[in-house]
């Protein structure tokens, strides 16, 4: 995925994932859709919570 370059795209690793796969989340910086904004917000919160709870 890092070879797919678009302005404003940010790639983040997912810590402690059990299965080898690539998962990407992308959205427009100035997204107007409340549903998309809520999805991105919740996805980032889950990622942050999981990253912070990693004992390593």
Q: What is the pLDDT of residues 14-51, one digit of tens each?
A: 777 677 666 678 888 898 999 989 999 988 888 776 66
User: What distance, in Å, lies between the first and last C-alpha atoms of the chain?
Assistant: 26
- CB–CB of 14/5 below 8 Å? no
pTM of the model: 0.48
Q: How many domains does the chain have?
A: 1
Structure token pair of residue 18: 């059990």
Query: Do residues 39 and 18 lie in contact, with contact meaning Cβ atoms separated by under 8 Å?
Result: no
Task: Give the pLDDT of residue 22.
Answer: 63
Q: How far is CA 20 from CA 13, 16, 17, 25, 40, in A?
A: 12, 10, 7, 17, 22
Q: Residue 2 sits in which domain range?
A: 1-56
What pLDDT, on the 0 to 100 scale, is given for residue 34?
92
**pLDDT surpassing 60 at residue 9:** yes
């Amino acid at each position: 995925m890092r070879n797919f370059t678009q302005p404003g795209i940010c790639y983040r690793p997912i810590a402690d994932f059990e299965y080898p796969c690539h998962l990407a989340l992308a959205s427009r910086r100035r997204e107007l859709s409340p549903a998309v904004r809520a999805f991105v917000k919740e996805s980032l919160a889950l990622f942050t919570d999981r990253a912070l709870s990693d004992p390593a």
